[in-house]
Amino acid sequence: MITLNKKKLKQAAIILFACLVSVAGFSQEDLTGERYLHGYVYGLEEGKKKEALIGANVYWLGTNLGIATIKKGEFKLKFPKNMVPKLVVSFIGYQSDTIEISSGQRDIEVTLLATINLEEYEVKEKRGSTFYGKTSPIATQIITNKELTKAACCNLSESFETNASVDVSYADAVTGAKQIELLGLSGIYTQMQFENTPEMRGLAGIYGLTFVPGPWLESISISKGTASVRNGFESITGQINYEYKKPDTAEKFYFNLIGNNLGRAEVNSYSAWKLGPRWSTMLLAHANKYSKKIDLNDDSFMDLPISTQFNLFNRWKYRGTKIVTQFGVNYISEQKNGGQIDFNEKLDKGTENSYGIGIDTRRLSAFWKAGLLSFEKPNTSLAMIHSFQHHEQNSYYGLNDFKAKQTSWYSNLMFQSIIGNTSNTYTIGLSIVYDDYDELLKQPKTHNEVLFKRQDIIPGAFFEYTYKPSDKFAVIAGLRDDYHNHFGNLFTPRLHIRYRLTEKLTFRASAGKGYRFPSVLTEQPGLLLSNKEVFFYDEPTYEEAWNYGLFISQDLLLFGRNALLNLDFYRTDFLRQMIVDMDGCVSMMFAYELNGMKNFYNGKSFANSAQAELRLEPIEGFDLLLAYRINDVKTTYSGELREKLMTKRTKALLNISYITSWEKWQFDYTLQQNGKSRLPLQVVYDDVLQEYDTFPQEFSPLFIIMNAQVTRRFKNWEVYAGIENLTNFTQDNPIEYFDEPFSLKFDATRTWGPVLGRKVYLGLKMNLF
């Protein structure tokens, strides 16, 4: 006789009934009154097979119901009650997707398309090689790797040739140092970042642009005005963040060789390996050499110093189910020698036989980033960033000797989550900045010695709130408070607003404060090159400024094709600023505070910058960029408000690019019109009247620079050739009194135009996927 257990019979009946109703299209969870959506999330990169995404965020739009995918990209998510559900799927490095789910749907498979780590940007139309983020309140321009192929782009300083917002020019006529300019102000007021970690601060501010090889770059993002408080307090006129190639997405092997008619040879290479499903690593190498002494203007000085640079970078990445981490180490060594053609370092250094310069730089940096992605709430994550730099520079400029060291550490801990639903998100965090500076300038000619020793310890905390009730409106409000061990509290409020008036018209506005700590000697090469005594009326402290901006974006239809018109206006008002005064200086150059004694405690300094930019594609494959900018920048010098030195009033840009079918051929042409800039006042001593006489104010002339390049692509390699400065335009007499290099009249800082003439280059690229 068989005895049946009633409890077991009941369980068996429930299981049998569940199987039957599941065949009819119901899930087991329906029996308890709850409905679940089951699915898989995959990622698809160009030229590769799709793969499961582990740790992707999956949540219902407008709710706090969400989950992260597990093995094989799988997820199971409870349906929300009393609403028509829309599913949002996102993952770092891929375009987010929003899907409307029908009432009877129980299973789904989602495939996300790869981007360039720009998941916050929603791009509906065909995306060009340079574009603006659509949904972020912060106006951010993205320069992709495709845009960087329009010019030689040997390093970061050459990556803005086709950009309307950023200007690049030589800082002087001897060292070869390049500097950028944004919103009418020097690049020292722009926060430079490598993958959201601080870079090019302090000693690397001038020469650091040449430490970033162009072929390593994956993308560059440019934000005008103050940036997010998450990235610190230093952004005043904007932020430039550059991304290198990643070990899990880069080509297996890449090789680039380039040379030009002026004696430059450069090689770039990298190789990436996947060490299993989670680990990947990459080794990047760069070397360049300028070996030819060139003096095309016959002033006895080399137009560009001879130099050698070696750059080695190793990075690692781990992507687990809950944790993503990256770390890497970078070492740079560079030697520069310039000055007069006949200068011999062994025989002439420290004498007045011949003028020479020597700059020996060693730089070691490292970073570590980690993120915890697996949280039940959507848009919730925990991240930390650490970076370290040690920079040494041993150099001489004529008779002047300059030695400097900088050691820096940066840490940032951030937690991001939602308040109620995904329309309200917040980020809260703690950070610390440590800088140790040691700078010594010796000027034997004037028996002057300038010593700067400074140790900055700056802990800080920040809170940022993002409100995005719809696709039309979004606001980011941020506050941070940092405490400097010498100068006390640095309070930084920032606000960014985006409003889409129509489908094609978008307004953005921003306002905020920024701070920075100047390294006067390294940021002003003219102080090191000159024989004049450097006199500090005030000891450098910190700089403080407000920035306000308005950005308007209008989608157009021209010639039956899509076009984009961008208009923007930004104003920067300084509350504190360190002024380097080169006006009318006979035997000395002065450095003083904007509101210090030299300006009768009532100085003003501001910058207004307005720009219009039009992008269009008249025919398939033909891209056109037209841009024009006006700068109005003034600073108080010795109690008088004057136009800021060496700042171009206007700039016009034309860029034409044509790519044939299958991208086999590419033709690029760029024209830049550079406006006038005010030159330093010159003063001479009148022996008859026995008094100083000031020359009339001089301005640089308007000039035009043209560049062109042709590229031919094959399956795994390409060859390109180009000409920079097609018309061979150069500045006349870039060095004042070059025949008296050890006199007080010698001046190599009145550089407003090209020192080098026409440059012809040829390059080869090869990659294996």
What does the pLDDT look like over 505-530, one tens digit per residue? 999 999 999 999 998 888 887 788 88
| Lowest-confidence pick of 107-111, 120-124, 296-300, 494-498 | 120-124
Helix, strand, or coil (residue 406): strand
pLDDT of residue 58: 86
Tens digit of pLDDT for each residue in 589-598? 888 999 987 7
C-alpha span between 547 and 141 (Å, rounded): 18
More confident residue, 55 or 503: 503
Residue 46 has pLDDT above 80, yes or no: no
What's residue 261's pLDDT? 93
DSSP 651-674: EEEEEEEEE-GGG-EEEEEEEEEE
Picking from 77, 113, 70, 79, the residue whose alpha carbon sits closest to that of residue 95 is 113
Handedness of CA 113, 115, 119, 122 (dihedral sign): negative
Find residue 395's DSSP bridge partners: 359, 402
Query: What is the dihedral sign for C-alpha 129, 134, 135, 136?
Result: positive
Pick from 709, 755, 714: nearest CA to 732: 755
Q: Region 28-38: what's the mean pLDDT?
A: 61
Among candidate residues 520, 636, 523, 649, the one with its CA nearest the CA of residue 574: 636
For tokens 């803005």, what's the residue?
160
CA distances from 712 to 437, 660, 666 (A): 48, 10, 7
Assess contact for 402 and 521: CB atoms under 8 A.
Answer: yes
* Angstrom distance (rounded) from CA 95 to CA 291: 46
Instruction: Give residue 582's pLDDT.
Output: 84
Statement: residue 122 has pLDDT above 80 = no
- pLDDT band with cut points at 50, 70 and 90 for residue 415: very high
How confident is the model over 141-147, as a mean pLDDT? 87
Mean pLDDT over 404-418 rounds to 95
- CA angle 670/148/49 to nearest 5° reads 140
Instruction: Provide the pLDDT for residue 374.
Output: 62
How confident is the model over 664-709, as pLDDT tens digits? Answer: 999 999 999 999 999 988 776 666 666 667 778 899 999 999 999 9
Q: List the structure tokens of 244.
A: 């290198």
pLDDT band at 82 (very low <50, low <70, confident <90, very high): low
Q: Is 456 left (phi over 0), alpha (psi -120 to 50) or beta?
A: beta
Calculated CA dihedral for residues 598, 457, 516, 368, nearest 10 degrees: 160
- Assign residue 592 a region (left: φ > 0; alpha: ψ between -120 and 50; beta: otherwise): beta
Output the pLDDT for position 269. Answer: 96
Residue 686's pLDDT is: 63
Mean pLDDT lowest for which of 73-82, 154-163, 196-205, 425-434?
Answer: 73-82
| pLDDT at 249 (0 to 100) | 86
Say if CB 427 and CB 384 are below 8 A apart.
no
pLDDT at 20 over 60: no
CB 258 within 8 A of CB 289: no
CB atoms within 10 A of CB 26: 15
pLDDT in tens, 323-340: 899 999 999 999 999 999
**Percent of the chain predicted with pLDDT > 90:** 59
| C-alpha–C-alpha distance, residues 525 and 384, integer Å | 36
Candidates 59, 61, 43; CA nearest to 51 is: 43
As given in the structure block, the two tokens for residue 219 are: 């993308």
How many Å apart are CA 465 and CA 3, to the nearest integer?
Answer: 66
Task: Write out pLDDT tens, residues 629-666.
Answer: 999 999 999 899 999 999 999 999 999 999 998 889 99
Spatial separation of the C-alpha atoms in residues 172 and 301, rounded to whole Å: 12
Least confident of 84-88, 147-151, 309-313, 737-741: 84-88
* Residue 118 confidence (pLDDT): 37
Predicted pLDDT at 151: 82
Q: Give residue 398's Cα distance to chain centre.
A: 34
The pLDDT tens digits of the residues spanning 248-264 come to: 888 899 999 999 999 99
- Sheet with 578-581: list strands edge to edge: 533-536, 588-593, 578-581
Amino acid at 680: P
Cα–Cα–Cα angle for 447, 453, 455, nearest 5°? Answer: 170
In one letter, which amino acid is 742?
Answer: F
Q: What is the percentage of the chain residues whose pLDDT exceeds 70?
A: 91
pLDDT surpassing 90 at residue 484: yes
Token output for 602: 């009532």
How far is 216 from 116, CA to CA, in rounded Å? Answer: 14
* pLDDT at 19 > cutoff 60: no
> Minimum mean pLDDT among 130-139, 451-460, 562-571, 703-712: which range?
130-139
- Could you give the count of Cα atoms lying within 13 Å of 358 in the half-sphere of its Cβ? 13
Per DSSP, the residues of 275-317 read: ETTTEEEEEEEEEEEE-----TT-SSB-SS-EEEEEEEEEEEE
Q: What is the mean pLDDT of the chain?
A: 88
- Determine the pLDDT at residue 1: 41
pLDDT score recorded for residue 689 = 65
**In terms of residues, how long is the chain?**
769
Residue with tokens 């005030």: 538
Report the Cα 338 to chain-centroid distance in Å. Answer: 29
Instruction: Provide the 3-class DSSP secondary structure of residue 675.
Output: coil
What are the pLDDT digits (tens) for 161-202? 899 999 988 888 999 888 899 999 999 999 999 999 999 988
